[in-house]
Amino acid sequence: MAWVYSFGGGKAEGQAGLRELLGGKGANLAEMSNLGLPVPPGFTITTEVCTHYYTHERTYPDDLKTVVDAALASVGEQMGARFGDAASPLLVSVRSGARVSMPGMMDTVLNLGLNAQTTEGLAALTSDARFAYDSYRRFVQMYANVVLGLDHALFEEILEGEKERNGVELDTELSADDLKGIAALFRERVETETGRPFPEDVREQLWGAIGAVFRSWQSPRAKTYRRLHNIPEEWGTAVNVQAMVFGNRGETSATGVAFTRDPSTGEKLLYGEFLINAQGEDVVAGIRTPQPVAKIVRERQRGRKPSMEEALPAAYAELEGICARLEAHYRDMQDVEFTIQEGRLFMLQTRSGKRTAEAALKIAVDMVEEGLIDRNTAVLRIDPNALDQLLHPTLDPSAPKELIATGLPASPGAATGEVVFSADEAEKRAADGRAVILVRAETSPEDIHGMHAAKGILTARGGMTSHAAVVARGMGRPCVSGAGVLKIDAVNGSMTAGAVTIGRREIITIDGATGQVFRGAVPMRQPELTGDFGTLMGWADSVRTLKVRTNADTPADAATARRFGAEGIGLCRTEHMFFEAGRIVAVRQMILADDEQERKAALSKLLPMQRDDFAGIFRAMDGLAVTIRLLDPPLHEFLPQKEEEIAEVARAAGSTPAKLRARAIALHESNPMLGHRGCRLGVTYPEIYEMQARAIFEAALEVEQSGYAPVRLEIMIPLVAFKSELEFLKGRIESVARTIQRERGRCPAYLIGTMIELPRAALRAQEIAAAAEFFSFGTNDLTQTTLGLSRDDAGTFLTEYLSKTLIARDPFVSIDQDGVGELVKIAAERGRAVRPKLKLGICGEHGGDPDSICFCHEAGLDYVSCSPFRVPVARLAAAQAALRYPRQQA
């Protein structure tokens, strides 16, 4: 097995298809080399070495150093230099390269190979001492931070102090002697902090950097990113060692990042940023605010500094041509890194670019129209979860607003929340249920947990390709970056924009589509899902086989879901209707009743209310299927807990506080989730289910008679464990239907089915199917009862299971396919063995999770049901499942 793959000079040992072995960056560097593009030579240490490193107590394969030395010598030959040679030194970068892009999450070291001797040699070779010592001070600072673990701020403090002492504002105004002195101060600080001198041996430097990259795979920020994006730990990272080219060689040198299309909108133009006389970390770190690559973008942003197209026209033209070639080759929008060294362009990276949902849709639809991809590829190209970005409100343009600052529109969408100034505070406040906006001078990879917790992100520095911008777009968080007017005092908890000062926990609103920042909360408006969204979703609907329903308890929810493309209601929870102020008294009277006669009297008050509820939902769905779950939760949930509430309820119910307390005690259960609920309530108090059945039938008749389409009615009995329970309650419902038939001369058509949410029900599905006309898998409770976990309590320890990789996903977020999923498959197979046309669906939270939807498709279910705002996500996920795993035709 080869541990190292070389690239450069118009050829490579690897290619794009070796992403698992070479990582995304290494595979694409090899591919660009094979395409003959100007790529500095280098080599990739494979992900297999990372695996070896972690399975062999952080050691390397025995022959790795020999192989690396040979590869390094080959790079030197191509560059006309030698690693560690004082007269003609080879300098390299050492970068991570995971299988999928993890922007900013792992470590990079630039300018490696510099020490006192090689820096002098570089100065003599280039006749540019300033460039040599600028590179050296950068290297010492970066190596000290990445490899030795010293705080970046220790060195920034020295740099700022020296700039102030020399009376200059910009790094570029420091002389060669200034930079030489700063490098010496940096080395002194390293020795003070670590007790050891800064390493002069270039091979010690190299292996220190390689080890740092491998260690960064297990850094807290990388672990957090992997958890948020479901990236397996065992994938590991590759390490790319590449000859340095320099963007800090003067006014004809530059470095930058570009996207072949606008990553926020999808517009087809070269969209990126660059800095003259700088190195790549200056652009992405957000320390300096860069200039646009394209002139049209600079004009739109009203920038005063020239674009790359204007300042370096020849290099821009070459970059534009290469980007067009790369996009055509990969058939996707590319995110490239480049350096211009004294007018000569070099390509350092290409990858599929992170983009917003809006941009992803536009790019996919446009590429179909351009003939680059077909419709199915376009459907597969969109991350279903990313559609969430499109389904939430934006700022109301007619609402009054107090504008306090404007920055760059780094990630679209609007967000309102309390101002917080640290990632830890953002995470804590969000955990307390508060909406927060994370405000930073600039973000760093260590802020990833706070960025995820925040509703939006605002930075004073950084551009459209800064860490904040890239990560926010990937997460779907609104972001405004580079709002230079802001003065942020994180220590004292305030930010100032002109005459306006905003303190910690004051409310602001940001608009990531315009870059604007407003004081206070600004009203929002609902999204309009048309254009590219409608086109792509039409393509998705044409290929999926799973139907998509919604979980909706009100006409408003039902209408929202229909607007998002729901094909029915898979779960209407009747208990939510019982909690409304106008009817809770009647519910409590029913619970307090001493006998069936009193209960029926109270239920008679609820009947017209339930009938109106159901009629509103039937009208909203207008002929689409509606599955109504009869009362499920235990009765004690409807009773008050506090003394003052007990007294008030007793008065309203015509009872006494003592009787109410006694009833509450009688209904109390040690484990109500497994107690007197679901069909058990119907067995004990069948009059409750009879009232609900009558309300359902009467509402359906009322709606049909008022001109709406016939109601496709499905009545669902929850928590069935035994066929006998279902048969008993089915008989009661059918009796009500016969009574309606006698009274009204007709009864609406209906099906009676059950929720499968207990392991016994799944295992005995062949018996239950004899009485049930449909199964709906209630995977929330099925997960609880199968794993013996309380969904409300498991969060306190499941995070430990995830962090220790004992489980790959939270089973309440994505279905446990090996356990809960096996029960679903058993129930489906056994149920259909008795009733071949048995309708099967899922109505737990898993119905909106793409991985769970794929499982449902493979398991042969007929539909999934999810919350209204997840309906488009489910539609797209179902289409992708159909394309990846076509069902066999019966």
* Active-site amino acid positions: 467, 843
Sequence-separated (6 or more) residues with CB below 8 Å from residue 471 = 103, 104, 443, 448, 451
Dihedral sign of CA atoms 214, 465, 252, 36 in order: positive
Closest CA to 215 of 111, 105, 117, 304: 105
Residue 223 CA to residue 71 CA, distance in Å, equals: 31
Task: Report which DSSP code applies to 421.
Answer: S
* Tally of CA atoms within 13 A in the half-sphere of 661 that contains its CB: 9
- What backbone phi and psi angles, to 5 degrees, belong to 778? -85, 85
How far apart are alpha carbons 582 and 584 in whole angstroms? 6
Contact 362/355 with Cβ under 8 angstroms? no
Distance CA 165, CA 152 (A): 20
Q: Are strands 291-292 and 271-276 parallel, antiparallel or unpaired?
A: antiparallel
C-alpha 272/C-alpha 464 separation (Å) is 7
Cα–Cα nearest to 110, from 94, 122, 131: 94
On whether the CB atoms of residues 711 and 751 are closer than 8 A, the answer is: no
Give the N- to C-terminal CA distance of the chain in Å, as an integer: 45
- As a whole number of angstroms, the distance between CA 15 and CA 33 comes to 9
Say which DSSP state 359 is in. H
Cα 259 to Cα 473: distance, rounded to the nearest angstrom? 13
Identify which of 260, 319, 256, 308 has the alpha carbon closest to the alpha carbon of residue 282: 256
Q: How many CA atoms lie within 13 A of 194 on its CB side?
A: 19
What is d(CA 750, CA 831) in angstroms, rounded to the nearest whole number?
20
* Main-chain phi, psi angles of 228, to 5 degrees: -70, -30
Closest alpha carbon to 358 in 210, 473, 444, 254: 473
DSSP string, 385-397: GGGGGGSS-EE-T
Q: What is the CA radius of gyration of the chain?
A: 32
Give the C-alpha separation, 741 to 732, whole Å: 14
Measure the CA–CA gap between 480 and 468, rounded to whole angstroms: 9
CA distances in angstroms from 717 to 315, 317, 753, listed in the order given: 69, 68, 6
Which of 522, 461, 465 has its CA nearest to residue 486?
A: 461
3-state secondary structure 152-185: HHHHHHHHHHHHHHHCCCCHHHCCHHHHHHHHHH
Q: What is the token pair recorded at 551?
A: 């979980």
CB 251 within 8 A of CB 278: no
| Contact status, residue 363 vs residue 356, Cβ threshold 8 Å | no
- Which tokens is 775 given? 């199964």
CA angle 157, 161, 164 (to 5 degrees): 140
Question: Beta 516-519 vs 507-511: how paired, if at all?
Answer: antiparallel
Q: How far apart are CA 866 and CA 728, in angstroms?
A: 30
